[in-house]
Amino acid sequence: MDLARLAGLNPSGVICEIMNDDGTMARVPHLQEFAKKHALKIITVKDLIAYRIKKESLVRRVAVTKLPTAYGDEFTAILYANDIDRQNHVALVKGAISPDDEVLVRVHSECLTGDVFGSLRCDCGEQLHNAMNMIAREGKGIILYMRQEGRGIGLEGKLKAYELQDKGKDTVEANLALGFKADLRDYGVGAQILRDLGVRKIRLLTNNPKKIIGLEGYGLTVVKRLPIEMHPHPKNINYLKIKKAKLGHLLEKV
Catalytic residue list: 183, 185
Taking the C-alpha atoms of residue 164 and residue 149, their distance in angstroms, rounded to an integer, is 17
Q: Is the Cβ–Cβ distance between 158 and 121 less than 8 Å?
A: no
Q: Is the Cβ–Cβ distance between 139 and 103 less than 8 Å?
A: no
The length of the chain in residues reads 254
Taking the C-alpha atoms of residue 159 and residue 157, their distance in angstroms, rounded to an integer, is 6
Q: Give the full edge-to-edge strand order of the sheet including 59-68.
A: 59-68, 74-82, 88-94, 141-146, 102-109, 201-205, 221-226
Q: Is the Cβ–Cβ distance between 190 and 215 less than 8 Å?
A: yes
